[in-house]
Copies of this chain bind each other. A is one copy, B any other.
Amino acid sequence: MTPPAPGVSFAGLWGEVAPLGRDPRTGGYRRFAWTPEDAALREWFASAAADRGLDVVTDRAGNQWAWWGDPDADGPGIVAGSHLDSVPDGGAFDGPLGVVSAFAAVDALRERGFVPARPIAVAHFGDEEGARFGVACAGSRLITGALDADRGRALRDADGVPMGEAMARAGHDPGHLGRDEETLRRIGTFVELHVEQGRGLVDLDRPVAVGSAIWPHGRWRFDLPGRADHAGTTRLADRDDPMLAFAAIVLAARTAAARHEAVATCGKVLVEPNGVNAIPSRVTGWLDARGADDERVHAVVAELAALVDEHGGTVAEESWTGPTDFDPALVRRLAALLGDAPVLPTGAGHDAGILAAAGVPTAMLFVRNPTGISHSPEEHAEEADCVAGVDALAAVLEDLAR
Protein backbone atom coordinates (compact mmCIF):
# COMPACT_ATOMS: atom_id res chain seq x y z
CA MET A 1 0.00 0.00 0.00
CA THR A 2 1.35 3.44 -0.91
CA PRO A 3 -0.17 6.00 1.45
CA PRO A 4 -1.09 9.37 -0.06
CA ALA A 5 0.55 12.67 0.93
CA PRO A 6 -0.93 14.15 4.13
CA GLY A 7 -3.04 16.76 2.38
CA VAL A 8 -4.45 14.22 -0.08
CA SER A 9 -5.02 11.66 2.68
CA PHE A 10 -6.76 14.21 4.90
CA ALA A 11 -9.01 15.51 2.12
CA GLY A 12 -10.00 11.98 1.11
CA LEU A 13 -10.89 10.90 4.64
CA TRP A 14 -12.68 14.18 5.34
CA GLY A 15 -14.76 13.75 2.22
CA GLU A 16 -15.84 10.29 3.40
CA VAL A 17 -16.95 11.31 6.89
CA ALA A 18 -18.47 14.72 6.09
CA PRO A 19 -21.88 13.53 4.77
CA LEU A 20 -22.59 11.12 7.67
CA GLY A 21 -25.29 12.41 10.02
CA ARG A 22 -25.49 15.81 8.34
CA ASP A 23 -28.89 17.56 8.43
CA PRO A 24 -29.36 18.98 4.92
CA ARG A 25 -31.80 21.58 6.25
CA THR A 26 -29.36 23.32 8.62
CA GLY A 27 -25.98 22.03 7.50
CA GLY A 28 -25.47 20.94 11.12
CA TYR A 29 -24.81 17.43 12.42
CA ARG A 30 -27.00 15.10 14.46
CA ARG A 31 -24.64 12.27 15.37
CA PHE A 32 -25.94 10.78 18.60
CA ALA A 33 -24.71 7.71 20.47
CA TRP A 34 -26.00 4.28 19.40
CA THR A 35 -28.15 5.57 16.54
CA PRO A 36 -27.99 4.56 12.85
CA GLU A 37 -25.78 7.63 12.24
CA ASP A 38 -23.42 6.44 14.96
CA ALA A 39 -23.35 2.98 13.34
CA ALA A 40 -22.41 4.54 9.98
CA LEU A 41 -19.54 6.42 11.66
CA ARG A 42 -18.33 3.20 13.33
CA GLU A 43 -18.42 1.41 9.98
CA TRP A 44 -16.45 4.23 8.42
CA PHE A 45 -13.81 4.01 11.18
CA ALA A 46 -13.44 0.24 10.77
CA SER A 47 -13.20 0.61 7.03
CA ALA A 48 -10.54 3.38 7.22
CA ALA A 49 -8.56 1.17 9.61
CA ALA A 50 -8.93 -1.87 7.34
CA ASP A 51 -7.77 0.19 4.32
CA ARG A 52 -4.54 0.84 6.28
CA GLY A 53 -4.08 -2.69 7.58
CA LEU A 54 -4.67 -1.56 11.16
CA ASP A 55 -6.20 -4.00 13.68
CA VAL A 56 -9.55 -2.79 14.99
CA VAL A 57 -10.40 -3.58 18.60
CA THR A 58 -13.67 -2.51 20.26
CA ASP A 59 -13.38 -2.06 24.01
CA ARG A 60 -15.93 -2.88 26.73
CA ALA A 61 -17.63 0.54 26.35
CA GLY A 62 -17.73 0.35 22.55
CA ASN A 63 -14.84 2.74 21.84
CA GLN A 64 -12.85 1.71 18.76
CA TRP A 65 -9.05 1.34 18.55
CA ALA A 66 -7.10 0.85 15.28
CA TRP A 67 -3.65 -0.51 16.10
CA TRP A 68 -0.45 -0.25 14.07
CA GLY A 69 1.59 -2.79 16.00
CA ASP A 70 0.64 -4.99 18.94
CA PRO A 71 0.35 -3.24 22.34
CA ASP A 72 -0.07 -6.55 24.14
CA ALA A 73 3.22 -7.93 22.74
CA ASP A 74 5.25 -4.73 22.43
CA GLY A 75 4.07 -2.63 25.36
CA PRO A 76 1.78 0.36 25.70
CA GLY A 77 1.42 2.48 22.57
CA ILE A 78 1.08 6.08 21.49
CA VAL A 79 -2.60 6.79 20.83
CA ALA A 80 -4.10 9.67 18.84
CA GLY A 81 -7.83 10.17 18.42
CA SER A 82 -11.01 11.92 19.44
CA HIS A 83 -14.75 11.37 19.02
CA LEU A 84 -17.18 11.30 16.08
CA ASP A 85 -20.50 12.21 17.74
CA SER A 86 -21.98 15.72 17.84
CA VAL A 87 -24.20 18.04 19.82
CA PRO A 88 -27.63 18.71 18.21
CA ASP A 89 -26.99 20.78 15.08
CA GLY A 90 -23.25 20.72 15.80
CA GLY A 91 -20.34 21.49 13.51
CA ALA A 92 -18.27 19.18 11.30
CA PHE A 93 -14.95 19.57 13.10
CA ASP A 94 -15.60 19.07 16.83
CA GLY A 95 -14.43 15.44 17.18
CA PRO A 96 -14.04 14.11 13.65
CA LEU A 97 -11.07 16.43 12.97
CA GLY A 98 -9.07 14.53 15.60
CA VAL A 99 -9.93 11.08 14.27
CA VAL A 100 -9.41 11.98 10.60
CA SER A 101 -6.12 13.75 11.45
CA ALA A 102 -4.89 10.69 13.33
CA PHE A 103 -5.47 8.43 10.33
CA ALA A 104 -3.83 11.04 8.06
CA ALA A 105 -0.84 11.29 10.45
CA VAL A 106 -0.39 7.50 10.27
CA ASP A 107 -0.43 7.82 6.46
CA ALA A 108 2.19 10.59 6.66
CA LEU A 109 4.48 8.53 8.88
CA ARG A 110 4.27 5.59 6.53
CA GLU A 111 4.89 7.78 3.47
CA ARG A 112 8.13 8.96 4.98
CA GLY A 113 9.08 5.36 5.84
CA PHE A 114 8.92 5.77 9.60
CA VAL A 115 9.17 2.51 11.53
CA PRO A 116 7.76 2.99 15.05
CA ALA A 117 9.60 1.50 17.98
CA ARG A 118 6.32 1.43 19.93
CA PRO A 119 2.78 0.61 18.76
CA ILE A 120 0.64 3.47 17.49
CA ALA A 121 -3.15 3.60 17.50
CA VAL A 122 -6.02 5.72 16.23
CA ALA A 123 -8.85 5.90 18.80
CA HIS A 124 -12.55 6.70 18.41
CA PHE A 125 -14.30 7.47 21.71
CA GLY A 126 -18.07 7.03 21.70
CA ASP A 127 -20.67 9.47 23.06
CA GLU A 128 -18.33 12.33 23.96
CA GLU A 129 -20.96 15.06 23.77
CA GLY A 130 -23.52 13.22 25.87
CA ALA A 131 -26.22 14.68 23.62
CA ARG A 132 -28.47 11.64 23.92
CA PHE A 133 -27.99 10.37 27.50
CA GLY A 134 -26.86 13.56 29.23
CA VAL A 135 -23.39 12.45 30.40
CA ALA A 136 -20.45 13.90 28.46
CA CYS A 137 -17.41 11.69 27.65
CA ALA A 138 -19.45 8.55 28.41
CA GLY A 139 -17.08 6.31 26.40
CA SER A 140 -13.92 7.37 28.22
CA ARG A 141 -15.69 7.66 31.59
CA LEU A 142 -16.93 4.07 31.29
CA ILE A 143 -13.50 2.54 30.56
CA THR A 144 -11.80 4.51 33.35
CA GLY A 145 -14.62 3.75 35.78
CA ALA A 146 -15.43 7.45 36.21
CA LEU A 147 -18.94 6.47 35.09
CA ASP A 148 -20.23 3.43 36.94
CA ALA A 149 -21.43 0.60 34.68
CA ASP A 150 -24.86 0.27 36.30
CA ARG A 151 -25.41 4.01 36.29
CA GLY A 152 -24.32 4.17 32.64
CA ARG A 153 -26.66 1.39 31.54
CA ALA A 154 -29.56 3.10 33.33
CA LEU A 155 -29.09 6.57 31.79
CA ARG A 156 -32.15 7.34 29.68
CA ASP A 157 -32.60 9.36 26.51
CA ALA A 158 -35.48 11.80 25.92
CA ASP A 159 -37.71 8.89 24.85
CA GLY A 160 -36.96 6.96 28.02
CA VAL A 161 -34.69 4.39 26.32
CA PRO A 162 -31.92 3.26 28.70
CA MET A 163 -28.37 3.46 27.38
CA GLY A 164 -27.93 -0.29 27.97
CA GLU A 165 -30.89 -1.03 25.73
CA ALA A 166 -29.70 1.43 23.06
CA MET A 167 -26.28 -0.27 23.06
CA ALA A 168 -27.86 -3.72 22.75
CA ARG A 169 -30.12 -2.59 19.91
CA ALA A 170 -27.00 -1.26 18.13
CA GLY A 171 -25.30 -4.63 18.54
CA HIS A 172 -22.98 -3.82 21.45
CA ASP A 173 -23.32 -5.99 24.57
CA PRO A 174 -23.82 -3.70 27.58
CA GLY A 175 -23.07 -6.60 29.93
CA HIS A 176 -19.32 -5.94 29.75
CA LEU A 177 -19.39 -2.29 30.83
CA GLY A 178 -17.02 -1.41 33.68
CA ARG A 179 -13.45 -0.23 34.14
CA ASP A 180 -11.47 -1.72 31.26
CA GLU A 181 -7.97 -2.53 32.57
CA GLU A 182 -6.94 -4.30 29.37
CA THR A 183 -7.68 -1.22 27.26
CA LEU A 184 -6.12 1.23 29.73
CA ARG A 185 -2.94 -0.87 29.95
CA ARG A 186 -2.43 -0.50 26.19
CA ILE A 187 -2.38 3.33 26.29
CA GLY A 188 1.14 4.63 26.91
CA THR A 189 0.38 8.21 25.93
CA PHE A 190 -2.80 9.80 24.53
CA VAL A 191 -2.79 12.83 22.25
CA GLU A 192 -6.13 14.33 21.22
CA LEU A 193 -6.16 16.79 18.33
CA HIS A 194 -9.26 19.05 18.36
CA VAL A 195 -10.53 22.11 16.57
CA GLU A 196 -10.10 25.12 18.86
CA GLN A 197 -13.44 26.26 20.30
CA GLY A 198 -12.33 29.84 20.87
CA ARG A 199 -10.18 32.49 19.26
CA GLY A 200 -6.87 32.01 21.05
CA LEU A 201 -4.98 30.95 17.90
CA VAL A 202 -6.67 33.61 15.78
CA ASP A 203 -5.38 36.28 18.16
CA LEU A 204 -1.88 34.68 18.16
CA ASP A 205 -1.90 34.23 14.36
CA ARG A 206 -0.77 30.60 14.68
CA PRO A 207 -2.31 27.43 13.19
CA VAL A 208 -1.66 24.93 16.01
CA ALA A 209 -1.37 25.06 19.80
CA VAL A 210 -0.59 22.57 22.55
CA GLY A 211 -3.23 22.22 25.27
CA SER A 212 -2.08 22.85 28.83
CA ALA A 213 -5.17 22.19 30.92
CA ILE A 214 -8.94 21.93 31.02
CA TRP A 215 -10.61 24.59 33.11
CA PRO A 216 -12.67 23.53 36.08
CA HIS A 217 -16.30 23.51 35.09
CA GLY A 218 -19.71 22.68 36.45
CA ARG A 219 -23.46 22.84 36.00
CA TRP A 220 -25.95 24.17 38.51
CA ARG A 221 -29.73 24.04 38.39
CA PHE A 222 -31.74 26.78 40.08
CA ASP A 223 -35.41 26.31 40.90
CA LEU A 224 -37.39 29.50 41.29
CA PRO A 225 -40.88 29.05 42.70
CA GLY A 226 -43.57 31.63 42.04
CA ARG A 227 -47.34 31.85 42.22
CA ALA A 228 -49.45 31.02 39.17
CA ASP A 229 -51.78 33.91 38.49
CA HIS A 230 -53.72 35.64 35.76
CA ALA A 231 -51.57 37.89 33.56
CA GLY A 232 -54.43 40.31 32.91
CA THR A 233 -55.96 40.83 36.33
CA THR A 234 -53.16 40.55 38.88
CA ARG A 235 -51.74 43.89 39.95
CA LEU A 236 -47.96 44.18 39.62
CA ALA A 237 -47.64 44.65 43.38
CA ASP A 238 -49.58 41.43 44.06
CA ARG A 239 -47.40 39.23 41.82
CA ASP A 240 -44.83 36.60 42.69
CA ASP A 241 -43.43 36.13 39.17
CA PRO A 242 -40.36 33.86 39.01
CA MET A 243 -39.59 34.96 35.43
CA LEU A 244 -38.41 38.28 36.87
CA ALA A 245 -36.05 36.43 39.23
CA PHE A 246 -34.77 34.31 36.34
CA ALA A 247 -34.10 37.43 34.25
CA ALA A 248 -32.20 39.10 37.08
CA ILE A 249 -30.09 35.95 37.56
CA VAL A 250 -29.24 35.65 33.86
CA LEU A 251 -27.95 39.23 33.83
CA ALA A 252 -26.14 38.83 37.16
CA ALA A 253 -24.39 35.68 35.89
CA ARG A 254 -22.92 37.63 33.02
CA THR A 255 -21.78 40.49 35.27
CA ALA A 256 -20.28 38.14 37.87
CA ALA A 257 -18.43 36.13 35.21
CA ALA A 258 -16.94 39.31 33.74
CA ARG A 259 -15.84 40.55 37.17
CA HIS A 260 -14.20 37.22 38.06
CA GLU A 261 -12.71 36.68 34.57
CA ALA A 262 -14.66 33.45 34.16
CA VAL A 263 -17.44 32.45 31.74
CA ALA A 264 -21.05 31.79 32.70
CA THR A 265 -24.01 30.80 30.55
CA CYS A 266 -27.71 30.31 31.13
CA GLY A 267 -28.57 28.34 27.99
CA LYS A 268 -31.50 26.29 29.26
CA VAL A 269 -34.73 27.24 30.97
CA LEU A 270 -38.02 25.46 31.69
CA VAL A 271 -41.13 27.45 32.59
CA GLU A 272 -44.37 26.13 34.12
CA PRO A 273 -46.96 26.37 32.69
CA ASN A 274 -45.25 28.44 29.93
CA GLY A 275 -48.48 30.14 28.87
CA VAL A 276 -48.68 33.61 27.31
CA ASN A 277 -51.36 34.83 29.73
CA ALA A 278 -50.13 32.97 32.83
CA ILE A 279 -47.74 34.27 35.45
CA PRO A 280 -45.43 31.23 35.83
CA SER A 281 -45.73 29.01 38.89
CA ARG A 282 -42.11 27.92 38.51
CA VAL A 283 -39.01 28.71 36.45
CA THR A 284 -36.05 26.34 36.41
CA GLY A 285 -32.80 27.68 34.97
CA TRP A 286 -29.36 26.17 34.50
CA LEU A 287 -25.96 27.78 34.90
CA ASP A 288 -22.83 26.53 33.15
CA ALA A 289 -19.76 28.18 34.72
CA ARG A 290 -16.06 27.70 33.99
CA GLY A 291 -12.83 29.53 34.64
CA ALA A 292 -9.06 29.26 34.91
CA ASP A 293 -9.26 28.10 38.52
CA ASP A 294 -11.77 26.81 41.09
CA GLU A 295 -11.86 30.12 42.96
CA ARG A 296 -13.14 32.12 40.00
CA VAL A 297 -15.88 29.63 39.21
CA HIS A 298 -17.00 29.28 42.80
CA ALA A 299 -17.04 33.06 43.21
CA VAL A 300 -19.50 33.31 40.30
CA VAL A 301 -21.65 30.48 41.64
CA ALA A 302 -21.67 31.96 45.17
CA GLU A 303 -22.98 35.29 43.85
CA LEU A 304 -25.71 33.54 41.90
CA ALA A 305 -26.65 31.30 44.82
CA ALA A 306 -27.10 34.37 47.03
CA LEU A 307 -29.38 35.93 44.43
CA VAL A 308 -31.40 32.72 44.00
CA ASP A 309 -31.77 32.54 47.78
CA GLU A 310 -32.97 36.17 47.89
CA HIS A 311 -35.73 35.16 45.45
CA GLY A 312 -36.74 32.17 47.56
CA GLY A 313 -35.23 29.61 45.19
CA THR A 314 -32.80 26.73 45.59
CA VAL A 315 -29.57 25.78 43.80
CA ALA A 316 -28.42 22.20 43.07
CA GLU A 317 -24.97 21.31 41.72
CA GLU A 318 -25.55 18.87 38.85
CA SER A 319 -21.89 18.31 38.00
CA TRP A 320 -18.47 19.59 38.97
CA THR A 321 -15.08 18.77 37.45
CA GLY A 322 -11.99 20.34 38.99
CA PRO A 323 -9.10 21.60 36.87
CA THR A 324 -7.28 18.99 34.76
CA ASP A 325 -3.64 19.67 33.92
CA PHE A 326 -2.18 17.71 31.04
CA ASP A 327 1.23 16.06 31.63
CA PRO A 328 3.51 19.12 32.12
CA ALA A 329 6.69 17.47 30.76
CA LEU A 330 4.77 16.19 27.75
CA VAL A 331 3.27 19.63 27.14
CA ARG A 332 6.73 21.26 27.19
CA ARG A 333 8.14 18.55 24.92
CA LEU A 334 5.39 18.93 22.32
CA ALA A 335 5.52 22.74 22.37
CA ALA A 336 9.28 22.67 21.75
CA LEU A 337 8.90 20.00 19.05
CA LEU A 338 6.30 22.11 17.22
CA GLY A 339 8.50 25.22 16.89
CA ASP A 340 7.61 26.78 20.22
CA ALA A 341 3.89 26.35 19.64
CA PRO A 342 1.54 28.38 21.87
CA VAL A 343 0.33 26.59 24.99
CA LEU A 344 -3.37 27.23 25.73
CA PRO A 345 -5.89 26.02 28.28
CA THR A 346 -9.47 25.25 27.26
CA GLY A 347 -12.86 25.68 28.84
CA ALA A 348 -14.28 22.57 27.17
CA GLY A 349 -14.31 19.04 28.55
CA HIS A 350 -12.67 16.29 26.42
CA ASP A 351 -11.95 12.56 26.57
CA ALA A 352 -8.31 13.65 26.99
CA GLY A 353 -9.31 15.22 30.29
CA ILE A 354 -10.97 12.01 31.48
CA LEU A 355 -7.87 9.95 30.61
CA ALA A 356 -5.54 12.53 32.21
CA ALA A 357 -7.60 12.45 35.40
CA ALA A 358 -7.26 8.64 35.33
CA GLY A 359 -3.46 8.94 35.28
CA VAL A 360 -2.77 8.44 31.57
CA PRO A 361 0.02 10.75 30.24
CA THR A 362 -2.09 12.95 28.01
CA ALA A 363 -1.79 16.04 25.80
CA MET A 364 -3.94 17.91 23.31
CA LEU A 365 -3.32 19.81 20.08
CA PHE A 366 -5.68 22.58 18.98
CA VAL A 367 -6.20 23.65 15.36
CA ARG A 368 -7.12 27.27 14.60
CA ASN A 369 -10.82 28.12 14.22
CA PRO A 370 -11.16 31.40 12.28
CA THR A 371 -14.35 32.50 14.03
CA GLY A 372 -13.91 30.63 17.30
CA ILE A 373 -17.50 29.38 16.87
CA SER A 374 -18.18 25.79 17.89
CA HIS A 375 -21.26 23.61 18.58
CA SER A 376 -22.80 25.26 15.53
CA PRO A 377 -22.92 24.61 11.77
CA GLU A 378 -20.72 27.71 11.45
CA GLU A 379 -17.81 25.92 13.17
CA HIS A 380 -14.87 25.90 10.73
CA ALA A 381 -11.17 25.31 10.17
CA GLU A 382 -9.28 26.18 6.99
CA GLU A 383 -7.93 23.18 5.08
CA ALA A 384 -4.37 24.53 5.30
CA ASP A 385 -4.68 24.65 9.10
CA CYS A 386 -6.10 21.12 9.15
CA VAL A 387 -3.08 19.91 7.17
CA ALA A 388 -0.78 21.79 9.57
CA GLY A 389 -2.56 19.90 12.34
CA VAL A 390 -1.90 16.57 10.60
CA ASP A 391 1.79 17.52 10.20
CA ALA A 392 2.02 18.45 13.87
CA LEU A 393 0.30 15.25 15.01
CA ALA A 394 2.58 13.15 12.77
CA ALA A 395 5.63 14.89 14.26
CA VAL A 396 4.33 14.18 17.77
CA LEU A 397 3.64 10.50 17.06
CA GLU A 398 7.06 10.13 15.44
CA ASP A 399 8.76 11.77 18.40
CA LEU A 400 6.90 9.69 21.00
CA ALA A 401 7.06 6.35 19.15
CA ARG A 402 10.66 6.67 18.00
Query: Which residues of A approach B to under 8 Å, CB–CB?
Result: 87-89, 131, 136, 196-199, 215, 217, 219, 227-236, 238, 241, 243-244, 246-248, 250-251, 254, 257-258, 263, 265-269, 271, 273-281, 286, 288, 290, 318, 346-349, 372-378
Q: Counting chain B CB atoms within 10 Å of each CB, which of A136, A234, A271, A374 scores highest? A: A234
Q: Name the one of B215, B244, B286 contacting A254, with C-beta atoms under 8 angstroms.
A: B244
A361 to B28: give the CA distance in the assembly, Å: 58
| Cβ contact within 8 Å between A374 and B233 | yes
Of all A-B residue pairs in the complex, the 7 with the closest CB atoms, nearest first, are: A197-B233, A232-B347, A228-B376, A231-B265, A247-B250, A247-B247, A230-B374
Q: Name the one of B89, B273, B348 contacting A88, with C-beta atoms under 8 angstroms.
A: B273
| Cβ contact within 8 Å between A236 and B257 | yes
Instruction: Report B-chain residues with C-beta under 8 Å of the C-beta of A257.
Output: 236
| Cβ contact within 8 Å between A267 and B263 | no
| Cβ contact within 8 Å between A269 and B267 | no
Instruction: Report B-chain residues with C-beta under 8 Å of the C-beta of A374.
Output: 229-230, 233-234
A36 to B372: give the CA distance in the assembly, Å: 54
Residue of B nearest to A375 (CB): B230
| Cβ contact within 8 Å between A275 and B268 | yes
| Cβ contact within 8 Å between B278 and A227 | no
Question: Can you offer 17 A-B residue contacts whose CB atoms are under 8 A?
Answer: A197-B233, A199-B235, A199-B238, A215-B232, A229-B372, A229-B376, A230-B348, A231-B263, A232-B263, A232-B290, A233-B374, A241-B254, A243-B250, A246-B247, A247-B251, A268-B278, A269-B274
Instruction: Report B-chain residues with C-beta under 8 Å of the C-beta of A232.
Output: 197, 215, 217, 263, 288, 290, 346-349
| Cβ contact within 8 Å between B251 and A251 | yes
| Cβ contact within 8 Å between A227 and B376 | yes
A229 to B318: give the CA distance in the assembly, Å: 21
CB distance from A375 to the nearest CB of B (A): 5
Instruction: Report B-chain residues with C-beta under 8 Å of the C-beta of A217.
Output: 232
Instruction: Report B-chain residues with C-beta under 8 Å of the C-beta of A230.
Output: 197-198, 347-348, 374-375
| Cβ contact within 8 Å between B89 and A235 | no
Instruction: Report B-chain residues with C-beta under 8 Å of the C-beta of A197.
Output: 230, 232-234
| Cβ contact within 8 Å between B258 and A236 | yes
Residue of B nearest to A198 (CB): B233
Q: Name the one of B268, B277, B373 contacting A265, with C-beta atoms under 8 angstroms.
A: B277
A199 to B236: give the CA distance in the assembly, Å: 12
| Cβ contact within 8 Å between B227 and A243 | no
A217 to B232: give the CA distance in the assembly, Å: 8
| Cβ contact within 8 Å between A271 and B269 | yes
A44 to B48: give the CA distance in the assembly, Å: 70
